[in-house]
Structure 1
Amino acid sequence: MHSTADPPPPPPPSPPSPAETLEEITQLLTRLLPASLSITCFTSRWQVLRSKLASLKSLLLEISDSPHWSEHPLISSLLPALLSTLRRTETLCQHCSDASNSRGKLLMQSDLDMAVGWLSKQINDLELLLRSGVLHQSTAIVLSRPEASSSKEEVAFFIKDLFTRLQIGGLEFKRKALESLIQLLSEDDKSATVVAKEGKLSCLISLLDLNAENSIRELAVLAVSLLVSAGDSPRKCLFEEGALGPLLRIIECGSAPMKERAAMAVEFITSDPDNAWAISAYGGVSILIELCKSGSLTAQSHAAGAIRNVSTVEDTRIALAEEGAIPVLLQLLVSRSPSAQGKAANCISILASTSEYFRGLLLQEKGLQRLLQLFHDCSNSNTLEHVLRAIYSLSVSDTSYRMLSGSTSFILQIAELVKHGNVMLQHISASLLANLAISDGNKRAVCGCMSSLVKLMESVKPDGMQEVGAKALLSLLLVKSNRKELVKDEKSLMRLMQMLNPENEVVSKKFPVAVLAAIMAGGSQSCRKKLVAAGAYGHLQRLAEMDVVGAKKALQRLSASRLTSLLTRSWRE
């Protein structure tokens, strides 16, 4: 029996190769160029079209001379689209050559203008592809990152090809190119400098546009955030190409992940003082403040960092005050994000140090109380430093000064930081101890930090450390019991003698001289005896001869003590 089943359908014809498509395009151009010369209607439009067709013919000849032109995947998408445009143009040529054609004049003008637009776009794409140099090497649609051993030329070619695909490819080409770019930046942040030099960053920024396809925008934001975090050069290039405005629009309207990445990029861009001013120009102050209020913890942290960066610009500071940044920043001090807390505290410390106006705004919003709460609860040394700086700036207010001077818990805590904090915390804490009007009872309570203050008097850095150490110590030595405690501490006494030694040029002599004078101010014979026994007399004699401030007066007190001691001993004998 014979089967009655239908034979299988023939396989679909395979698409023409790039070479076959190019051949058909060349034939079409050969027909179109002379045919267009005989057209007598719409002459100005056909003149423009002819110039486009002539440019296209020359460009295609140049492309066909490239070694690997037919292998590049972008060619496979560009040539068929170009062929379609030329077929439509040929149809228009036939219509315009046919006197009996009944198409309306306005419709024909519109069709010719559209043909000019299509050809202009496709010529531009082909020029980009040719000028990029990527047709000289064989590439695939899924780009693999160059190996670590790759030459600079190979990496540069890879980046040029990526950006070529971003400019003229369809969605799939753009997506693959962005994924490859992100992989490159994630695995080798040094490549960011090459990207800034070889890539057309304006093309990447254009993908941040609100009208761009969402998945492409998400990848573009991630790529930009990786670029700006990688170094000064790519950060500067992206700013100069206008990335700040689109990033701020994304913070306004993007998804939560995009807002986080855009805020991160804005924070990095504004970390350069030369860029920070532009936030106001783009209307970014209110956008960042709103993100601090309603964004995720990560977004809030980056927004607070950006606000901190721009708070160094005077005009922007005024905008921050007008837009209500102060209460928002103070609220971040109790955020669940330690990073946001630290950046907000840093910004507040900057604002508090600038003018009485900002100190007034902070105090009006109970800023000192918020800062003290964080100061007592926080264990991060960087955040503590910013908080202390802000508190120090606010302490110039009479109300704040009285509140801080009378707070035993605060005094005890800064005394602990003098003993165990890092250098900057010691510096600020000692400054507060020196300046506040601390009660005698609290001075006795913190006498344990005096040996640390003596050590600070030996510190060369930071600038001013010796002075604040001496001033804080002099404040505590106003209490008699503290003077006795200090001379009992043999190590501290030995340090003071080493600082007094004229051969020791590290420490300014006026500070140990003032401390010795303070120890002797109460008339305690036991204190003076210990100072003499430690060798203070000889050092003071030499310093007095050198006219060191306070040395002669201190020597007189010490000499009077020695004379009194000798007379008493002689009388007893």
Structure 2
Amino acid sequence: MHPSSPTMDSAAGDTQVQPPPLPSAASLEALLDSINHLLSLLLLSSLTARSFFGRWQLIRTKLTSLLSSLSSSPHWSPHPLLLSTLLPSIHSTLSFLHSLSLQCSLSPFPGSKLHMQSDLDMASSSLSDQLQHLDLLLHSGVLHQATAIVLSHPAPSSSKDDVVLFIRDLFTRLQIGGNEFKMKALDSLLQLLSGDEKSAVLVSREGNVAYLIHLLDLNNFSPIREQAATALSILVSLNNESRKIVFEAGGLGPLLKVLETGSNPLKEKAAVAVEAITADPENAWAISAYGGVHVLMEACRSGSPAAQCHALGAIRNVAVAEDVRTVLAEEGAVSLLVQMLCSSVAAAAREKAVSCIAILASSHEKFQYSIIQEGGLQRLMHLLEDPPSADALESTLRTVSSLSKVDSVNRTLSSSTAFIVHLGELIKHGRLILQQLASSLISELSISDGNKRAIANCMSSLVRLMESPKPVGLQESASSALVSLLTVRSNRKDFMRDEKSVTRLVQMLDPRNETVLKKLPVAVVAAVAASGGDGCRRRLVAAGACQHLHKLSEMEIAGARKASQRLAGSRLKTIFSRTWKE
């Protein structure tokens, strides 16, 4: 029985008690007087009831609590709007109980005992609901204010205390009111959440987030569910604290239920919230507990473009968890994700799909083979040519790098001149992380001499990358790629003609230069000196490489002694040649 429209069956027949119109401050006082009078009568009659004495003692406990609650606030009259539904409902329940008490005082009992038991239980249940709502009002602190709070947005200059009071008032109205009250309260909540972040953070701290989650229930009015889902999606997107509060209040399960069964607008709001909640790695495990992987997959398959995009984002977030990856494999996630790479899919969705594929491909070889079997390599190669964003390009390159561990893919990539040239362009013009990935691929692929010659113009960029301490591993990747390219004779000659690159390389050999591991430039020098011809070796000697290598040999740097000997051998040949000519 709803407190705003109680319906009770009396022994004499069915009676519907409608709540009176909004009371004024004067009529509110009269209503309170009448309620207190009824309470006095009922507390007395509950002790003298001749029938159903046990039930009356239970009701008496609730009547005593009601009396105590009504006596605890000195400020009732300034809040007629808040009390316009609750006090008439309480009055109606007490009036009905009084009529029942009169019947139970007679001996013998004149009516149907089953009917009376039902009436008493119904009235007792209504009294419990009304007590709960009254307790909510009292604990919110709203009724302890001498002036009424109007449900409107606080001014920008409002103090924190004023905003907190507004939030408590708002959530109180949200919980005790009917649908119209709830809609107005939710409108005010959304207005507050769209303002400054500080006020929005206060909502998660001071508001009843658990009740906001409760409004997602299927039995609630559809516009209310949509507004509640919108509010939650904003809350979880604000910051880590708000996200944690919603998650700990049990928000993930109901949001997944909405994503599974709601209308399209509801699904979109729920998908936004689920993506935000799962952005915290500590929350990823919970997706499996709620059966959420299947729900997310279905949203990707049949949801609106917006719901699909955010569901993909949530899948990407939770794919970092091993047990979730197992479920993704069982649900056929790879096939779906590969399909999402086609150009007809929205750019944001493609970006999230390839990001998820990159995570799966790097986790286990079974995902690598599955991606290949689903035709993923071909779509990834197309995506490299026209990526929707820089992040998508990075994820694509990471995935290709993972797939290159498979022999058949390595051979395919190694023989693709277009792909190799593309890697060379990324080394010259890409972001640092892309330069690292491209360098790593060049060093790992079995590239033909012809394709190595095709990207000889990226060698100077590789030398510059060797000087960069971040990201971690970039120097190693760049030096390995450069060593690989220097296996081609023409590339070695081109490299040695580049005075700036040679100077940079020799500077990196200097023991006083601590920005790079010495074994890396030593390996490059060794690659040139091994079969670069006397001209290449002489240029290194002239640039001062020998003296640095000698010191590095004494420091026992790997490869330094051998490289030094080769350059020294070249120097002796030069000296003998000059002597003979003289």
Q: What's the TM-score once normalised by structure 2's chain length?
A: 0.93
Q: Which structure 2 residues correspond to residues 427-438 of structure 1 after superposition, within 5 A?
A: 427-438=436-447
Identify if the C-alpha distance between structure 1 residues 476 and 309 changes in structure 2 by more than 3 Å, giving closer, same or farther.
same
- Name the structure 1 match of 2:409: 400
Deviations 1:154-210 (A, max 9, x none): 221111111111221221221111111111111122333322221121111100001
Please show how residues 419-430 of structure 1 align to structure 2 within 5 Å: 419-430=428-439
Q: Of the candidates 195, 212, 218, which is equivalent to residue 187 of structure 1?
A: 195
Correspondences of 1:136-175 after superposition (within 5 Å): 136-137=144-145, 143-175=151-183
- Hey, what's the Cα distance between the residues in 1 that align with 2:135 and 2:284? 37
2:460 to 451, 455, 463: 451
> What secondary structure, in the 3-state scheme, does the structure 1 residue paired with 2:218 have?
coil
The answer for the alignment partner of 2:248 in structure 1 is 240
Please give the alpha-carbon distance, in whole angstroms, between the structure 1 residues aligned to 2:430 and 2:352: 20
Q: Determine the structure 2 residue equivalent to 1:316.
A: 324
Q: Aligned-pair distance for 1:71?
A: 2.1
Answering whether residue 29 of structure 2 is matched by residue 19 of structure 1, we say: yes
1:73–1:141 Cα contact (<8 Å) kept: no
Listed one character per residue, the Cα deviations across residues 228-277 of structure 1 (whole Å, up to 9, x for unaligned) are: 00111111111111111111111111111111110010011111122111
Contact 1:304 1:344 in 2 (8 A): yes
Distance 1:286 1:543, change over 3 A: same
Contact residue 301 and residue 343 of structure 1 kept, 8 A: yes
Aligned to 1:506: 515
Kept after mapping to 2: 8 A contact 1:227/1:234: yes
Contact 1:68 1:137 in 2 (8 A): no
Measured against aligned partners, the alpha-carbon deviations of 1:4-58 in whole angstroms (never above 9, x if no partner) come to: xxxxxxxx99956211211111122222221232211010011111221122112
Q: Which runs of 5+ in 1 are unaligned?
A: 1-11
8 A Cα contact 1:141 1:176, kept in partner: no
Aligned-residue offset at 1:142: 5.5
Q: Which amino acid aligns with 2:46?
A: S
Please state how far the C-alpha of 1:344 moved relative to its aligned partner.
1.0
2:199 is the counterpart of 1:196: no
- 1:223 aligns to 2:231 (yes or no): yes
SS at structure 1 position matched to 2:556: coil
CA distance in 1, matches of 2:367, 2:394: 19
- Alignment counterpart, residue 339 of structure 2, candidates 320, 331, 351: 331
Superposition pairs of residues 470-509 of structure 1, within 5 angstroms: 470-509=479-518
Q: Which of residues 441, 446, 465 in structure 1 aligns to 2:450?
A: 441
Distance 1:362 1:138 in 2: 67
Name the structure 1 match of 2:69.
Answer: 59
For 1:55 and 1:157, the matched residues in 2 are separated by: 25
Deviates most, 254-263 or 441-450: 254-263
Please, which of 359, 375, 378 is the counterpart of residue 366 of structure 1? 375
| Equivalent of residue 213 in structure 1, options 208, 216, 221 | 221
Instruction: Please name the residue that 1:552 is paired with.
Output: 561
User: Structure 1 residues 493 and 69 mapped into 2: Cα distance closer, same or farther (>3 Å)?
Assistant: farther
Deviates more, 1:543-552 or 1:394-403: 543-552
Amino acid at match of 1:183: Q
Q: Which amino acid aligns with 2:286?
A: A
Aligned residue-pair number? 560
The corresponding residue for 1:378 is: 387
| Residues 277-286 or 109-118, more deviating | 277-286
CA contact (8 A) 2:78 2:146 kept: no
Task: Name the counterpart of 1:9.
Answer: none
The answer as to 2:360 corresponding to 1:347 is no
After the TM superposition, which of the residue ranges 284-293 and 149-158 deviates more from structure 2?
149-158
Contact 2:39 2:63 (C-alpha < 8 Å) held by counterparts: yes
Which stretch shifts more, 501-510 or 33-42?
33-42
Q: Is 2:235–2:242's contact at 8 Å kept on the other side of the alignment?
A: yes
CA distance in 2, matches of 1:13, 1:516: 93
Asked if 2 retains the 8 angstrom alpha-carbon contact of 1:229 and 1:265, the reply is yes
Deviation at 1:217, TM superposition (A): 0.4
For the 8 Å contact 1:141–1:173, the answer to whether it is kept is: no
One-letter code aligned to 1:481: S
One-letter identity of the residue aligned with 1:563? L
Task: Report the Cα distance in structure 1 between the residues aligned to 2:428 and 2:526, rounded to whole angstroms.
Answer: 24
The letter of the residue matching 2:30 is E
Match of residue 288 from structure 1: 296
Partner of 1:8: none
Shift of 1:69: 5.0
- Cα distance change on mapping 1:391 and 1:463 into 2, 3 Å: same
Shift of residue 467 of structure 1?
A: 0.7
Q: What RMSD in Å do the two structures reach over aligned CA positions?
A: 1.7
Q: Which amino acid aligns with 1:50?
A: R
2 CA distance for matches of 1:307 and 1:139? 50
- Equivalent residue letter for 1:394: L
5+ residue gaps in structure 2? 1-19
Q: Distance in 1 between matches of 2:21 and 2:416?
A: 88
Maintained 8 Å contact 2:236/2:246: yes
Q: Name whichever of 153-162 and 422-431 sits farther off.
A: 153-162
* Aligned residue identity for 1:271: A
The one-letter amino acid of 2:331's match is E
Q: Say whether 1:257 aligns with 2:265.
A: yes
Q: Secondary structure at the match of 2:135?
A: helix
Three-state SS of the structure 1 residue aligned to 2:72 is helix
Match of 1:107 among 109, 115, 135: 115
- The code of the aligned residue for 1:105 comes to K
Query: Which secondary structure state, in structure 1, belongs to the residue aligned with residue 220 of structure 2?
Result: coil
Judging changes above 3 Å, is the alpha-carbon distance between structure 1 residues 29 and 117 closer, same or farther for their aligned structure 2 residues?
same
Return the offset for 1:212: 0.6
Identity of aligned residues (%): 55
How far does residue 99 in structure 1 lie from its aligned partner after superposition?
A: 3.9
Corresponding residue for 1:463?
A: 472
Change (3 A) 1:448 1:140: farther
Moved more, 374-383 or 39-48: 374-383
Question: Are the equivalent residues in 1 in contact too, given 2:28–2:80 (CA < 8 A)?
Answer: no
Aligned partner letter, 1:373: H
| Residue 397 (structure 2) aligns with | 388
| Paired residues of 2:492 and 2:532 also in contact (CA < 8 A) | no
1:32 to 25, 42, 47: 42
Q: Contact 1:73–1:140 at 8 Å: present in 2 too? A: no
- Tell whether the 8 Å contact from 1:72 to 1:135 is kept in structure 2 after alignment: no
After the TM superposition, which of the residue ranges 136-145 and 538-547 deviates more from structure 2?
A: 136-145
Equivalent residue for 2:52, pick from 28, 42, 51? 42
In structure 1, the residue corresponding to 2:197 is in which secondary structure? coil
**What's the counterpart of residue 297 of structure 1?**
305
SS in 1 for 2:531: coil
> Is 2:529 aligned against 1:520?
yes
Give, in whole Å, the separation in 1 of the partners of 2:381 and 2:497.
34
Q: Is the 8 A contact 1:270 1:310 kept in 2?
A: yes
TM-superposed CA distance for 1:68, in Å, is 5.3
Rounded Cα–Cα distance in structure 2 between residues aligned with 1:266 and 1:23: 50
Whole-Å separation in 2 of the counterparts to 1:15 and 1:302: 47
Deviation at 1:492, TM superposition (A): 0.9
Query: Contact 1:218 / 1:258 at 8 angstroms: preserved in 2?
Result: yes
State the TM-score, normalizing by the size of structure 1. 0.95
Cα distance, 1:73–1:461 mapped onto 2, change above 3 Å: same
